[in-house]
Chains A and B, each alone.
Chain A
Amino acid sequence: MKKLHFLEVEGNTKGFYSFLGLFGLISLIGVLAAYYMEHNGHWVTGMSNQVIWGTPHVFAIFLIVAASGALNIASISSVFAKTSYKPLARLSGILAISLLSGGLVVLLLDLGRPDRLIVAMTQFNFVSIFTWNILLYTGFMGIVGIYLWTMMDRPYNNLTKKAGMAAFIWRLILTTGTGSIFGFLIAREAYDSALLAPMFIIMSFSFGLAFFLLFLMGSYKYTQRELGDYIVNRLKNLLGVFVAAVLYFVIIYHVTNLYSADHRGITQFILTSGGIYTFLFWVVQIALGSLVPLALLYGPTGNNRTMVGTASVLIILGGLAQLYVIIIGGQAYPMQLFPGMEVSSSFYDGVVAVYAPSLPEFLLGLGGVGVTLLLATIAIAAMKFLPASLSDEVADPHGK
């Protein structure tokens, strides 16, 4: 096995600046979209008093969930002592921080009063799971930062395992917290389930790894570094397991909801009569986002990089669809003011809410992805996050 050697990405190249410019542009457009929304008020969006959280939240929660999942690779290496993942641990950490930042930017910019961030950071209501999330997010940044430092600063390498353990536990709590933002809402049938928190954890494994894999393959391709099959195959096999696990949770979630009469309505809505939500569920989330990637990853095409990349993209799209169905579909379905009764009012009681995402909302969400990529791109050029080579001789501990 060759010695592992980390090296910054060469920053002073045309290619690097093009990527920087592209991601910067996406981020900038996102910020401008947010400014447009804030300046006018949310009436310019598709959001309303019925669909309260819209497309920005789909992106924000995707990025936050993916952030904790991206850290998994590092955890496997430090906590579970799998040495073959060690070369990837640094990238895993910095991607986690970048994804979380991107998600938080979107969440912040969609607030009604983003200018009052200082209020959110100084006035806490500790009964609120939201407050805990604010602390968990900031804590995550700090802990992963320390974790990265122990990995990258040789004298402190002996602390890596401890820091990695802390980060691992923290990320589990964090995703539980993110899932609980919805799980604690007794008012809405779609969210009133203890399964949401563990489901969000397994979703984070899948989304985070898909994003990680794409970033890894992309960065190695464009820097012409060597990325051996050993690493890619391990990762894609792991990814397949996660996708299957998410599928399992989705099935359990819906089956248990079908079983209890008071949750049957929302489940039938999503599965059969929900229009766009039913379409997104079956076609994008289940077929394109789960079954096709499973076939691509485990089928005869499994060794083809393009196919692994395609599978990762599909998993991300499927994940966005899944969150869209959970977040927006869950709100579109009417709340039961009088269970079993037919209700109507001037405030859209008893009817399925109409929601059409507006362009600025979508651009804001995409801007979060831009911020993530921008941060990660700058990071790998500024510090030694990526191994100079991940050829099989370097990566495979059993290789010669």
Chain B
Amino acid sequence: MTINNENKNNGETASSAESSINLEASRRNFIFGSVAAAGLTVAPGMMLYQTANARSLSDFSLKDGASSKVRWGMLVNTTKEVDWNKCVEACNKEHGLGNEKDSRDDQKTQYIRVVDVKNKGTGYSMSLPVMCQHCENAPCVDVCPTGASMKRADGIVLVDRHRCIGCRYCMMACPYKARSFVHEVLTDQTENTPRGKGCVESCNMCVSRIDNGQEPACVEASEGAIIFGDLNDPETPIAKILAKHGGKQIRADLKLNPGVHYQGI
């Protein structure tokens, strides 16, 4: 039970810290967001380009691409009373998942799932969302023979389906079971998440949303229980909370240094 209490405390202090530093932070993010908006998809079929806007696009990474100065990460506060299934739903909707017709349940894709954990000794139990942990030393990237499984400069791990040959070695290597294989022909994919038969796929941290200045879908749906941001910038809320209250990584013993951190596990 000690563990339980500790976790609860940790969570509470974490959330109060959030509210104390959020003003400046959300401003920063707001600026980031609106600049981003100048060059993003606003409606089906239309890309928008704002060249005459006061805020120049040169400030923004749309044209520069992913920068190694940034390391995107997430902080999941498992002590918050949140229905994690909302994150799963948001993810499925964002990426158009769940459109398999023939696959068995154990063959269907899941980018994010809710894991229930129970300590048999103490009886303590909790739930947490688990997705690709976006490891710094990602085993899936190391083992991929073609370089299809890759890590972007900003730390996002994703599959380049143009190169994926479907050998599934990355799925063997991932300690988080974060990856799925597409077992059947798919149609009606979403525009921003191309996916199809014979390739491996996983959570890509909603990379197209991030590039457009938006948060990942699960973060948006989490009612504040998941924070998204740049781990490398000490001024971001995520970095500040982690610096002050710490966080844990799943299977930290494997020394993969995931970009997804948890509180309360």
A–B contact via C-beta, under 8 angstroms: yes
Task: Provide the residues of chain B in CB contact with A335, threshold 8 Å.
Answer: 175, 177
Determine how close the nearest CB of chain A comes to the CB of B240; give it in whole angstroms: 27
User: Which among B60-68, B197-205, B219-227 touches the partner chain?
Assistant: B197-205
Query: Which of the residues B114, B147, B200, B250 comes within 8 Å of A124, measured between beta carbons?
Result: B147
Q: Is A112's CB under 8 angstroms from B181's CB?
A: yes
User: Which among B33-41, B116-124, B229-237 touches the partner chain?
Assistant: B116-124
Determine how close the nearest CB of chain A comes to the CB of B28; give it in whole angstroms: 34
Q: Is A254 an interface residue (CB 8 A)?
A: no
Query: Which of the residues A116, A345, A348 comes within 8 Å of B106, measured between beta carbons?
Result: A348
Q: Is A187's CB under 8 angstroms from B173's CB?
A: yes
Q: Is A188 an interface residue (CB 8 A)?
A: yes
Q: Is A312 an interface residue (CB 8 A)?
A: no
Return the CB mask of B127-170 against A: 1 if under 8 Å, else 0: 00010000000010111111110000000000000011111110
5 contacts between A and B (CB under 8 A): A113-B166, A128-B143, A128-B145, A130-B167, A130-B169
User: Which among A23-31, A46-54, A96-104, A159-167 touches the partner chain?
Assistant: A46-54
Query: Which of the residues B148, B184, B265 comes within 8 Å of A41, measured between beta carbons?
Result: B184
Q: Is B139's CB under 8 angstroms from A187's CB?
A: yes
Return the CB mask of A335-360 against B: 1 if under 8 Å, else 0: 11111111111111100011000000
Q: Is B172 an interface residue (CB 8 A)?
A: yes
User: Which among A178-186, A230-238, A275-283 touches the partner chain?
Assistant: A178-186
Q: Is B164's CB under 8 angstroms from A113's CB?
A: yes
Cα-based distance from A50 to B169 in the complex (angstroms): 12
Determine how close the nearest CB of chain B comes to the CB of A360; give it in whole angstroms: 13
Return the CB mask of A29-70 against B: 1 if under 8 Å, else 0: 000000000101111000111101100000000000000000
Cα-based distance from A188 to B173 in the complex (angstroms): 8
Determine how close the nearest CB of chain B comes to the CB of A262; give it in whole angstroms: 9
Q: Is B164's CB under 8 angstroms from A49's CB?
A: no
Cα-based distance from A225 to B110 in the complex (angstroms): 60
Given known A43-B184, A49-B180, A185-B173, contact A345–B130 (CB-CB < 8 A): yes
Q: Is A41's CB under 8 angstroms from B102's CB?
A: yes
Q: Is A337's CB under 8 angstroms from B254's CB?
A: no
Q: Is B182's CB under 8 angstroms from A345's CB?
A: no
Residue of B nearest to A347 (CB): B113
Q: Is A119's CB under 8 angstroms from B165's CB?
A: yes
Task: Provide the residues of chain B in CB contact with A337, threshold 8 Å.
Answer: 115, 117, 130, 175-177, 250-251
Q: Is A130's CB under 8 angstroms from B145's CB?
A: yes
Q: Is B113's CB under 8 angstroms from A112's CB?
A: no
Interface centre among B104, B139, B197, by most A CB within 10 Å?
B197
Given known A187-B174, A337-B251, A342-B117, contact A354–B106 (CB-CB < 8 A): yes
Task: Provide the residues of chain B in CB contact with A127, threshold 8 Å.
Answer: 141-143
Residue of B nearest to A334 (CB): B177
Given known A112-B197, A119-B165, contact A347–B119 (CB-CB < 8 A): no
Query: Which of the residues A112, A185, A339, A340 comes within 8 Å of B164, measured between beta carbons?
Result: A112
Q: Is A134 an interface residue (CB 8 A)?
A: yes
Determine how close the nearest CB of chain A comes to the CB of B184; give it in whole angstroms: 4
Q: Is B8 an interface residue (CB 8 A)?
A: no
Determine how close the nearest CB of chain B comes to the CB of A261; give it in whole angstroms: 13
Q: Is A125's CB under 8 angstroms from B107's CB?
A: no
Return the CB mask of A348-384 against B: 1 if under 8 Å, else 0: 1100011000000000000000000000000000000
Q: Is B165's CB under 8 angstroms from A111's CB?
A: yes
Residue of B nearest to A336 (CB): B251
7 shortest interchain CB distances as A-B pairs: A112-B166, A112-B198, A187-B175, A41-B184, A130-B145, A48-B106, A43-B183
Task: Provide the residues of chain B in CB contact with A184, threshold 8 Å.
Answer: 143, 173
Q: Is A331 an interface residue (CB 8 A)?
A: yes
Q: Is B115's CB under 8 angstroms from A345's CB?
A: yes
Cα-based distance from A42 to B180 in the complex (angstroms): 12
Task: Provide the residues of chain A in CB contact with B177, threshold 8 Å.
Answer: 49-50, 335, 337, 347, 349
Determine how close the nearest CB of chain A comes to the CB of B150; give it in whole angstroms: 9
Q: Is B103 an interface residue (CB 8 A)?
A: yes
Q: Is B171 an interface residue (CB 8 A)?
A: yes
Cα-based distance from A354 to B104 in the complex (angstroms): 12
Cα-based distance from A64 to B248 in the complex (angstroms): 42
Q: Is A13 an interface residue (CB 8 A)?
A: no
Task: Provide the residues of chain B in CB contact with A255, threshold 8 Å.
Answer: none
Q: Is A43's CB under 8 angstroms from B107's CB?
A: yes
Given known A48-B104, A120-B146, A347-B177, contact A41–B185 (CB-CB < 8 A): yes
